[in-house]
Chain A
């Protein structure tokens, strides 16, 4: 088997499958550098691990639960958790609870009072980004729910209907 001394000073063996020289770590086992696909898989794993950590550390109610539920049903669907993006409609930064490939999910843990302007602004932002806006608020009062629905805001009270909504709007 052809060998050479590499730049690091270690002996490298020639692998005819890849046409490259690689360092042998164990006798008979050649350590190959990662392929493009493996690198992409690793990047995706790290991305999802970071999202998991952000959701777990979140101090907001229901964020971690919703994140886990979406990841369980639709792995890889979530793009952002508790992050900030610049909103040109208000010329300022906007906080986003959970963003999937086709939806922006706002999570409210309380009765949801006095949020009409905020939710309408978020809906405009979502439309600008060509995504569906949905409010997940399990404890929202029925009166507030009725008012927001009149303004065209999509509201889900439980995780099952939310997941169903995301599946219907999946890319």
Chain B
């Protein structure tokens, strides 16, 4: 599955997301105990609400032992136009499933920004919806 990161300026709320996702997408199951949505059809995808930030995996040792890692995260943050973004993860095989989810979420998070890690693709939600992908 491809790892797709969604960046927003405010934390995503599970209940709000559940409302818009259930209204527009079929065959979805909510798993509130693990803050996740997943597809129940044969086209699998997972959307996990983590509300993390870019530096939350950094440890104190990284500042001394691995400063290159911090620089890498700074470079990553510089590519995201959202200030102090909250990161959530989407895993999917198909771009059409991602487009449906992004189209649903952008109604409540209009500044949603998308990064496809596998393809090193960055763009707004609308740009993702308008782009043709080969997956």
Contact = CB atoms under 8 A, between A and B. Distances in A.
Contact of A110 (B31, B44, B62, B120): B120
Contacts, number: 64
A36 interface: no
Given A146-B66, A147-B66, A59 B135 contact: yes
Interface residues of A, number: 24
A111 B52 CA distance: 18
A92 interface: yes
A112 B117 CA distance: 7
Nearest to B57: A116
Contacts of A144: 69, 72
Query: Most chain-A Cβ atoms within 10 A of its Cβ — which of B94, B116, B118?
Result: B118
Interface string B24-67: 00000001001000000000100000001000010000100010
Given A113-B76, A143-B72, A61 B118 contact: yes
A71 to B, nearest CB: 21
Interface of B: 1-3, 5, 31, 34, 44, 52, 57, 62, 66, 68-69, 72, 76, 87, 89, 91, 93-94, 116-120, 134-135
